[in-house]
Structures are given as C-alpha cells and as structure tokens.
A and B are shown apart, each in its own frame.
Chain A
Amino acid sequence: MSSTLDTNKSPNTCETNTLECEKVSTTPTLRLRPRVDIMEQEDRYLLKVDLPGVHKDDLDVTLEKETLSMKGVARYDLPEGFRVVSGSGADRCYERTFRISDEIDREGITVEMKNGVAWLDLPKSAMAQKTKLTVK
C-alpha cells in the first residue's frame, strides 16, 4: 500500500467524525464504515466506496492537506403511521478518510455517484507517472 493512499484508521479521526456525523443529521444516526476498493493503474488511482442510500447532495468529499475525507448520509424516511419492525430506523452516516501523497494531482480528482457507489478518480501527477526515456 505504501504511503501513497492509505486509509486512515487512527482513533482520533474516528472521534472527530462522530461529532461531524451528528452535525449532518438532526435525527439519530447509525455510524458506518463503508466498504472500499482501491485500485492503482499506471496513471491513476480508482476508489470505489459503497454508500447505499446516499444521494449526491448528501455526500461531502473534502481534501485538506494530505487527508481526503468522505462523509455521506443516507436518510431513512419512515412513512407516516409505519413502525420499524426489523433493522435500524436511523439515518446511516458513512465516513472514511484516506491519506494521499504528492503523487496525486489534487486538482484532477473527480467524484461520481452511481447506484449507491462513489467512484473517485485520482490521477497521478505528471511527475509521478512512469516515463520511458529514449536511449540515444
């Protein structure tokens, strides 16, 4: 994995995230750590993060220094007159942070939501890409 793109698992981060989750949603929330796939290609990293029920407008992706944070809230709207008989009736708050290095072209990062999965495209900077030199 190296230091290029690490998931951040420090307890301090989790504690901070708890407060942020509560700010996002006014109803009780279930905090979840979403499953993620991280793939490296020659010129980019691809991240796929499972965020079922999260609408595009309820997803925040922020990049601060070397930390990329994702936070998405899936709201559960219980129809009037209904009661929850199984599972949790709370909103689900998905949070995960990643550490990225200078190898990533920060301006080129894009995020797209598709069927409850966030796709993040993190292109490598030109400096970080493999360059084949011509032997003269």
Chain B
Amino acid sequence: MLTANRFHQFLNSAREWEALMKNHLDSKPTSIHRIASDDGTVVFEIDIPGFEREDLDVEVNGTNLMVRAERHSEVDDSNINWKIRERLSGSEAYRFELPFRIDPEQTDVNYEHGVLRLKIQKPAEELPRKLTVQ
C-alpha cells in the first residue's frame, strides 16, 4: 500500500519525471516531447517528422522504451545544390526509462503527421489504491 501511494505521489512530480525519463530529446534543440498522465495511463508524444511508419522501430524491455527511426534519402541527391541544410539526417534513436514495467500488450503505438504517440497502460499493481481507515 505504501508503495502504491508513494508511486502516485511520484507521478505528480513533474521534476522527478524529468529526471527519470533519461530521454535524449532535451539535447536536441528542436525535438519536442510531451508526456501526459492520469491515474492509469501515460501518453507519450515525440516529434520525429519525415518518416514512414515502416521506418520506425519501437522496442519495450522491462521499464525501458527504445524508439529507433531509420531515415532513407527522400530526394535524388544527384544534381542538387544544397542552400540550407538544417533538418536532421541519418537515423535517430531515443531511450526512455519509465518508473514501471511496460506491458507491450497494454501499449498502443501510433505515428501520424510526424508525431509518434504511445499510450501505455500502467500495470494494475502500480495503480494508486485507497486504504480503509479502521
């Protein structure tokens, strides 16, 4: 019980979440992520524009979430004179560590308009429970 309550308090603290997420996004100035939560679900959004769904690989291992994106050349590079090149090239990889075990069967992954969205159900044992005062 104590564990469940502490976990709930922990989820309410955005700062601790930031510390635990260990994501690599903050080091990339224009990469933006959003994490929202209610008592039973966490919703991640990661901006990774310019990929096809089949180029994205999402892997779950215990409390770890790995996202890899393989970028293919979108235009014929021959006869191109580059004027400005700011967009990320090559592959991208992001790792998150969540404060609970991720059940792949309870996780929905969606990629639309360049945003990867993961909806993760928290395991039942991690949900806050109300104690009866005797």
Which residues in A have some Cβ–Cβ distance to B below 8 Å?
1, 5, 7, 30, 32-42, 45-46, 48, 50-55, 74, 76, 78-79, 81-89, 92, 113, 115-117
Contacts and interface: CB of A to CB of B under 8 A. Distances in A.
A41, A79, A116 interface centre (most CB from chain B within 10 Å): A116
B34 A87 contact: yes
Contacts of A78: 36
Contacts of A84: 14, 34-36
Given A42-B79, A53-B114, A86-B21, A92 B35 contact: no
Q: Chain B interface residue count: which class? A: 35 or more
Contacts of A53: 45, 47, 113-115
Given A36-B84, A53-B113, A89 B49 contact: no
B83 interface: yes
Given A82-B37, A86-B33, A117-B50, A52 B84 contact: no
B57 interface: no
A134 to B, nearest CB: 23
